[in-house]
Amino acid sequence: MSEQVSVGRLYGRLLTYVKPFIGSFLIAILGFVLFASAAPALSWMMGQITEVLANPKPEDARFVIITLIAIFAYRGLGTFLGKYFIARVGRGVVHSLRTVLFNHMLLLPSNYYDGESTGRLISRVIFDVDQVTGAATKALTTLVQDGLTVIFLMGYLIYLDWTLTLIFLALAPIIGGLVSFASKFFRKYSKRIQKSVGNVTQVTNETISAYREVRTFGGQEFEEARFHKASQDNRKQALKFALTNAINVPLNQQIIALGLGVMVYMMFERVLNGTMSAGEFMTFITAASLIAKPLRSLTDINSIIQKGLVGAESIFSVLDTKAEQDNGHVELERVRGDLEIKDLSFKYPSSDDWVLRSINAKAEAGKSYALVGRSGSGKTTLMTLLPRFYQAQQGSILLDGHKLEDLTLASLRKNVSIVSQQVTLFNSSVLNNIAYGELQNKSREEIIAAAKAAHADEFIVQMSDGYDTLVGDNGVLLSGGQRQRIAIARAILKNSPVLILDEATSALDTESERHIQAAMEEVVKGRTTFVIAHRLSTIENADQIWVMEKGEIIERGTHHELLAEKGAYANLHDLQFHDEDR
């Protein structure tokens, strides 16, 4: 019962996406009605043709020919209206679903992406939505068109001879039971196929993205085996689905054929007894024969419907995931940049371990703050809380005296820029990568000025098409230093009062780092800047250095003050410079 309720709920929800296309849907239904209503007329015509052949007259022959042509024209109009307009509805539903799904993914919280593979997410947008296409177009066409045909023909058969028609009606519960039984297997295998397609997509995406690492470390055989395993699993599940379908469809057809056989035998008996004419025989046998094909089609679409329902279930599971919480009510155009951290503690939703513990700190507007410490000390995690990628479980962060959760996300993030170690670039021009998102309305002159400030202009102008040069997938055509400088130019163009530099110079060679350091001296002016740095030489001029260990700030002060204390910072400094002198 719960499964039936689930199926009804899924279909009901899918129908809400049909509503905007109700006009096309109604025209399609009209087409299906025209097509289906032609079936009894064709069976009637076969009886008329038999009667004319038994007693041929020219006027009767002309009537038969004209009527036959008219019936096929009428049927053809119904076919066109039904198939074309249901295709409009189907593609419209798929487009709406795909758009809504993609847009909702943009709003999902960071912890959702932490627990989902990229391949599975891509598979939902492409494969799962495509499965819904089958349920929304082909299955719906068959369901309505052939369903109406069966209803019209069944009504005509009852009108002709209800006693013979009872044979067909007696088969309905048997066919319904088989369809219901097969549905359970179709749904189970559809879910497995769905998962296996996600695995294939994931392996493909990872291998192509990391093709250099694969070749450098001789990972071809490993990746071949990994892909073969994922693809083999997909093949195995698809064959199980096909086997169920291959057994289910002919079994239903055999039951229908058995019913037809009994019916034909009884009709021959009536013809021999003189209780049925040849014309009546042909009319009834034609109607009974015509009903077999749509019945077969109706049993055949069960597999498509189940695939579509599993796809819809997967899509709706994402849509039902709560979007990033944005309960803020304060809109700030441009903040000063005063920041205060009060008794802040944080742990990731999937973990019980505290990453940050009771942190208290203040940052004054326009000053620079460096965060140093060993890997895993909580530096990056602390900075991810500033733009509210995550929400702290205890304590709060105040920006210009306002709690971050009181600010709208758009208002908060408009005032924060981030340049991380892992630079993300899009397969577009250099210009579009610098002026990304809300920065698209910036003038070309402003973009070039930002690139010059980031010392990126000098290599951009030497590229084949200058600022209009395509950078490739994730900037693959650029060096690490060039990618970093474009990301910094993007942050400069945004001109936000709070700037986060997460290991921004770690991927740079000495010459590039010198360029960036010179640019940074200009960039940090007038901005509250947080620098997460591994190279201590890059943060010696910071207004204050926060030394973190095990989620706590254990030391703070200027470079010289911390060296004089001979504590954790001094040890890190001595260790690093000792290694560099080797």
From first CA to last CA, the distance across the chain in angstroms is 73
Q: Over 80: is that where the pLDDT of 475 sits? A: no
pLDDT tens digits for range 276-310: 666 667 777 777 777 767 776 776 676 677 777 77
Looking at the structure, tell me whether residues 167 and 293 fall in a common domain: yes
Looking at the structure, tell me whether residues 409 and 428 fall in a common domain: no
pLDDT at 341: 93
Q: Is residue 523 part of a domain?
A: no
Q: What is the DSSP string of 361-426?
A: EEE-TT-EEEEE-STTSSHHHHHHTTTTSS--SEEEEEETTEEGGGB-HHHHHHTEEEE-SS----
Q: Is residue 362 part of a domain?
A: yes
Distance CA 171, CA 334 (A): 74
pLDDT tens digits for range 323-372: 888 888 889 888 998 999 999 999 988 788 899 999 999 999 989 899 99
| Residue 229 belongs to domain with CATH number | 1.20.1560.10
501 sits in the region (left: phi over 0; alpha: psi -120 to 50; else beta) called beta
Looking at the structure, tell me whether residues 202 and 340 fall in a common domain: no
Distance CA 363, CA 366 (A): 9
- Per the structure, the complete domain to which residue 479 belongs is given by 422-495
Looking at the structure, tell me whether residues 246 and 309 fall in a common domain: yes
Looking at the structure, tell me whether residues 410 and 432 fall in a common domain: no
Looking at the structure, tell me whether residues 384 and 483 fall in a common domain: no
User: Could you say which of 254, 285, 319 is where a domain stops?
Assistant: 319
Q: Is residue 444 part of a domain?
A: yes
Looking at the structure, tell me whether residues 283 and 378 fall in a common domain: no
Looking at the structure, tell me whether residues 311 and 334 fall in a common domain: no
pLDDT tens digits for range 157-184: 777 777 766 666 666 566 556 656 666 6
| Residue 481 belongs to domain with CATH number | 3.40.50.300
Number of structural domains (the chain) is 3
Neighbours of 29 (CB within 10 A): 17
Q: Is residue 302 part of a domain?
A: yes
pLDDT tens digits for range 484-514: 888 888 888 888 899 988 876 655 556 666 6
Q: Is residue 264 part of a domain?
A: yes
Neighbours of 286 (CB within 10 A): 21
Distance CA 66, CA 202 (A): 60
pLDDT at 2: 43
Looking at the structure, tell me whether residues 438 and 296 fall in a common domain: no
pLDDT tens digits for range 518-562: 666 666 777 899 988 877 777 888 889 999 999 999 999 998 999
Q: Is residue 522 part of a domain?
A: no
Q: Over 80: is that where the pLDDT of 243 sits? A: no
Percent of the chain with pLDDT over 90: 12
* Torsion angle defined by CA atoms of residues 66, 69, 74 and 76, in that order, rounded to the nearest 10 degrees: -170
Distance CA 375, CA 320 (A): 36
Q: Is residue 513 part of a domain?
A: no
Q: Is residue 144 part of a domain?
A: yes
Helices 138-160 and 302-319, axial angle in degrees (round to 10): 140
Q: Over 60: is that where the pLDDT of 216 sits? A: no
Looking at the structure, tell me whether residues 85 and 106 fall in a common domain: yes
| Helical (H) or strand (E) element with 198 | helix 162-209
Looking at the structure, tell me whether residues 100 and 139 fall in a common domain: yes
Distance CA 15, CA 311 (A): 15
User: Could you say which of 269, 288, 319 is where a domain stops?
Assistant: 319
Looking at the structure, tell me whether residues 182 and 293 fall in a common domain: yes
